[in-house]
Amino acid sequence: MGVHLHASAMTFPLNPVLSLADRHAVVTGANGTLGAAVAQALVDRGCRALTLHYRSEASSERVRGLADRLSTLGAKITLRHADLSDTHATERLADELKDAVLPVDLLVHCAGVAPSALLVATASDTIEKTFAVNVFAPIALTRAVLPSMIRRRHGAVVFVTSVASLRPFRGQSIYASSKAALEGLVRGLAVEYGRKGVRILGVRPGPFESAMTAGVLSLDADRVRARTLTGSLVSVESVAHTIAFLATEGASGLTGTMVEVDGGYGVQ
């Protein structure tokens, strides 16, 4: 079986152990830099059924462009719109995933918000929105897909956290604490469902260029780069392809762990 990576790329046989053929993947935050890269990486590994979540109508054009591009590579794309800071919208999306014609084999939580302000200067509604999007929505969506995964004894959920959960910069206390909560969730869910055939994983990216990191990078990009062993920002493609690999049978021995893709950020 050949997999077409891009229009200009070569066709090559994909090892079945590393393939995501016949999988239905859901990616939240596909309107963002990482979510779009993850969707592409999954298709690169043979995934042909993707549900892409996006936040708002303002971002719909970008997501539709992504969907059109992936469709030309043979992927069947379903688009779902929901503002994850809205509990009712999150519940509707959870119900849609629960009732999907194709059961969900992989759920990747890329959606997130990253406020940058000292705690005393952070509005209460900003704190609530951060935890709604970064923590409560992933919990609700994971709860929706777990029963089917358990019945089939097959599935994987990947939570995207951040190096800020361990080493935050000034102004990242709320963001860092929300991502730290996800890391606790990874470990807890892995304990609960590891013997049910469901793998739970976390990916802890280092800083990469995106709308979410723009605030921190605009303030102190040189110091951010200095914290990595490579002296540069992380490639978003490297994060995305790590996530795609974790979903394959080649990573079947991994669950309940955090995988760092940070250019050595956490070593220093």
- The domains located in the chain, with CATH, are 14-261 (3.40.50.720)
Residues 160, 112: contact at Cβ < 8 Å?
yes
In tens, the pLDDT along 206-255 reads 877 655 655 555 555 566 656 666 666 788 999 999 999 999 999 999 99
Distance CA 138, CA 159 (A): 8
Is beta strand 11-13 parallel, antiparallel or unpaired with respect to 2-4?
Answer: antiparallel
Structure tokens at 91: 């519940």
In tens, the pLDDT along 133-152 reads 999 999 999 999 999 999 99
Q: Looking at beta carbons, which pairs linking 179-185 to residues 24 or more positions away fall under 8 Å?
A: 179/134, 181/131, 181/134, 181/135, 182/109, 182/134, 182/135, 182/138, 183/159, 183/258, 185/135, 185/138, 185/139, 185/159
Lowest mean pLDDT among 13-17, 35-39, 105-109: 13-17
- Return the pLDDT at 8: 44
In tens, the pLDDT along 59-76 reads 899 999 999 999 999 999
Angle at 194 between CA 191 and CA 195, to 5 degrees: 115
Mean pLDDT of 73-101: 97
The per-residue DSSP string of 137-200 comes to HHHHHHHHHHHHHHHHT-EEEEEE--GGGTSPPTT-HHHHHHHHHHHHHHHHHHHHHGGGTEEE
Q: Is 187 exposed, middle or buried (0-12, 13-18, 19+ CB in 10 A)?
A: middle
In tens, the pLDDT along 187-197 reads 999 999 999 99
Distance CA 198, CA 186 (A): 12
Largest Cα separation within the chain, whole Å, is: 57
CA distances from 120 to 166, 171, 177, 237, 252 (A): 21, 10, 15, 36, 44
